[in-house]
Chains A and B, each alone.
Chain A
Amino acid sequence: MRRILSVLLENEAGALSRVVGLFAQRNYNIETLTVAPTEDQTLSRLTLTTHGDDREIEQITKQLNKLIEVVKLVDLTEGSHVERELMLVKIRTSNSQRAEIKRTADIFRGQIVDVTGSTYTIQLTGTKDKLDAFIGALADAVIMEVVRSGSSGLSRGEKVLAI
């Protein structure tokens, strides 16, 4: 099962390498990883998506918690949550395709953020599934480049991950 782990990490040199190293060392997979400082400059917030059964995820969260620099963590997939990922797609557009591609982008609430005579760059945000679906819908177009941010997320409602 796919899980989204959200981690508060000391914003210190070397902390991220410990998290990444742990996954490599213990043979856990990382699908996506995003990290940036929070409003509190001493903390980074890291979102990590991975796959595993309950037992594996329990081990991963326990091992993460053992890292000294991990302040707190939550498995967002345990409750209702908001998940967002940003994607930029550069597409080669022939004249005949341009209108069709624009329509598809509109359906997915994508925005065209750069245009040249032969390309569109479309920006899209949403869940992983939505972004995957958009790529699928572009099947006939020539995709030149895709860049995705990896998922970020937080719990719905009052629940927060904070110190």
Chain B
Amino acid sequence: MERISGADAVIRSLQEEGVEVIFGYPGGAVLHIYDALFRQNQVRHILTRHEQAATHMADGYARSTGRPGVVLVTSGPGATNAITGIATAYMDSIPMIVLSGQVQSHLIGTDSFQETDMVGISRPIVKHSFLLKKAEDIATAIKKAFVIATSGRPGPVVIDIPKDITSPTDLIDFEYPDTVDIRSYNPASKGHSGQIRKAISMVMEAERPIIYAGGGVIQGEGCQLLTRLTRTLGYPITNTLMGLGAFPGTDPQFLGMLGMHGTYEANMAMHHSDLILAIGARFDDRVTNTVSLFCPTAKIVHVDVDPASISKNVAVDVPIVGDVTQVLEEMNQLVDAQISERTEGQKSALADWWSQIEGWRGQECLKIIREESDKQIKPQEAVQAAYEVSGGGAYVTSDVGQHQMFAALYHPFDEPRKWINSGGLGTMGFGLPAAMGVQMAYPDEQVICITGEGSIQMNIQELSTCLQYSLPIKIINVNNQALGMVKQWQDMQYEGRHAHSYMESLPDFVALVEAYGHVGFRIESVDDLEPVMKEAFALKDRLVFLDILVDPEEHVYPMAVSPNGAMRDMWLRKGVRT
């Protein structure tokens, strides 16, 4: 048995978990832990410039790899700065471990220096949390935290560690447990076979079916099985914002994203379907539009690992609680066995359904309208150019706003985990640090951050971290000189009164990124878009910031009509609705 300090026990536990990198920022309450980090070289520590960014980096790392992201912050302000990132991870069910320092045990509750009730503050935005009482509990708590964060519906776990239990002079016996028993935690694993059979018989009999798949399929590693099922069935499929890449975005069976800014064909197909096979998606309000008007003719099968997601917003006909991989495996077996029995009538019903869908597709809802002589860049074109120039296989993170929706709509994703954005919380400031987390995980891959001039300023200090760790991210700043998404709503719902949606006194971004030691280009004409972007992407080992001035008047369409709209009710262009 090793005799080590609590601080060493923290780091040893991370080593035992196979953690290769953690993101953090030091301070008084975690000094013992930082010293333990210093005295080893197995776990790499990335020094960020803000704790919020540390959490987003860990988040980007987790989303791109499927492995939990780990964060280390000090007590008080370090802990509170981490909150936005924890909430972001919680809303999108991202596995994350946050180690926060706490004041010494005897000072807890006395309003001591840099004391904050981290467990209390984070309670509604964590899957679970621990306030440690003694050094002997460190290993078990960390083991439990990893189990909880990564199993069932994943999520962030906070471990609050009082400084005194990490003291270098108090040694404890250390042994990292192989397994832990948490008697009250048994996440669902196997979907009910009877329900799966029932679901598949409905799926096979449907005349106007659609598959609606979300981020749960990616998290549950079910994408290949989903793709196989969809192809065998020959059914149309749509993905949520979080599910993009779960099914190849360039496949003809893919109708695009659904929901508030979903494609015309995806939303129309949902509304008119007679069967929805929902997998790892949660009928979020950004998808359903008005719940009482949601898909009036559809029977719904819903597969999810979280029982509480089922029939929460929309009542479903066949609930299946289980691990997505296992459920999809069983579904594939059943469909493989039954597909040859499909009748001529069923085949022609499906063909009719597809021809109706092709009609909707023919609307070309994403067509970019521009005058030939007009040299001003459309924001959609900036996204398309990034897709073309990068070859389409890059990891793409985004911030929040119009540019995020343009990225989701105009950059197809053929593989899972390549599209990384804050869907549930919609956190501006997510994009750059998330891209950094991805680049840490995949040093040799192309990583693009699509951002806006508003969002990028919410964590721009991380350009300094990028220099320190040589992260060659390509930042596409879709600069519409406005908080575009806010402005769009003001145009549509407040008669164009732009209350504080302008970003006046924008910095000279090129000068700014150069000051941080990186390369910057400004692009103003559509003719320069691809050539300059190619030049940027050719700088393989440098971070390049492309400040792309785009049409400030552009809106994101389609856009759901609300309130009181169904999924088929959309704005298609300025002043034109279904």
Contact = CB atoms under 8 A, between A and B. Distances in A.
Given A14-B119, A14-B131, A25-B124, A68 B185 contact: yes
Contacts of A66: 306, 308
B148 interface: yes
Contact of A68 (B128, B307, B312): B128
Contacts of B183: 71, 163
Given A13-B131, A59-B312, A69 B184 contact: yes
A63 B308 contact: yes
Contacts of B129: 14
A17 B307 contact: no
A163 B308 CA distance: 22
Contacts of B312: 59
Contacts of B185: 68
A10 B184 contact: yes
Nearest to B128: A68
A78 to B, nearest CB: 17
A18 interface: yes
Interface in B280-331: 306-308, 311-312, 315
Which of A18, A21, A63: most chain B Cβ within 10 A? A18
A21 B463 CA distance: 38
A19 to B, nearest CB: 11
A65 B123 contact: no
B308 A59 contact: yes
Interface in A13-45: 13-14, 17-18, 21, 25
Contact of A21 (B124, B182, B311): B124
B124 A55 contact: no
A17 to B, nearest CB: 7
B120 interface: yes
A109 interface: no
Interface string B101-128: 0000000000000000001100110011
A62 B307 contact: yes
Contact of B184 (A13, A14, A68): A68
A70 interface: yes
A58 interface: yes
A71 B129 CA distance: 16
Contacts of A58: 311
Interface in B147-162: 148
Nearest to A13: B131
Contacts of B127: 68
Nearest to A62: B308
Contacts of B124: 21, 25
Nearest to B129: A14
Nearest to B133: A13
Interface in B140-177: 148
A21 B308 contact: no
Contacts of A18: 123
A44 B105 CA distance: 25
Which of B124, B183, B184, B311: most chain A Cβ within 10 A? B184
Interface string A60-93: 0011011011111000000000000000000000
A55 B308 contact: no
A69 B185 CA distance: 8
B224 to A, nearest CB: 29
Contacts of A25: 124
A50 B119 CA distance: 26
A62 B312 CA distance: 10
Which of B120, B124, B185, B308: most chain A Cβ within 10 A? B308
Contacts of B307: 62, 65
A12 to B, nearest CB: 10
A77 to B, nearest CB: 20
Interface in B173-192: 182-185
A163 B183 CA distance: 9
Given A68-B128, A68-B185, A17 B120 contact: yes
Nearest to B124: A25
Contacts of B306: 66
A69 B315 CA distance: 28
Contacts of B148: 68
A103 B398 CA distance: 74
Contacts of B119: 14
A18 B185 CA distance: 15
A17 B123 contact: yes
Nearest to A25: B124
Contact of A71 (B120, B123, B184, B311): B184
B184 A21 contact: no
Contacts of A71: 183-184
Contacts of A62: 307-308
B310 to A, nearest CB: 8
A72 B182 CA distance: 13
Contacts of B120: 17
Nearest to B152: A66
Which of A58, A68, A69: most chain B Cβ within 10 A? A68
Nearest to B308: A62
B184 A70 contact: yes
A23 B124 CA distance: 11
A10 B131 CA distance: 15
Contacts of A17: 120, 123
A113 B226 CA distance: 69
B160 to A, nearest CB: 10
17 contacts: A10-B184, A14-B131, A17-B120, A17-B123, A21-B124, A55-B315, A59-B312, A62-B307, A63-B308, A65-B307, A65-B308, A66-B308, A68-B127, A68-B128, A68-B148, A70-B184, A163-B183
Interface of A: 10, 13-14, 17-18, 21, 25, 55, 58-59, 62-63, 65-66, 68-72, 163
Interface of B: 119-120, 123-124, 127-129, 131, 148, 182-185, 306-308, 311-312, 315
Given A18-B123, A59-B312, 20 more contacts: A10-B184, A14-B119, A14-B131, A21-B123, A25-B124, A55-B315, A58-B311, A59-B308, A62-B308, A63-B308, A65-B307, A65-B308, A66-B308, A68-B127, A68-B182, A68-B185, A69-B184, A70-B184, A71-B183, A163-B183
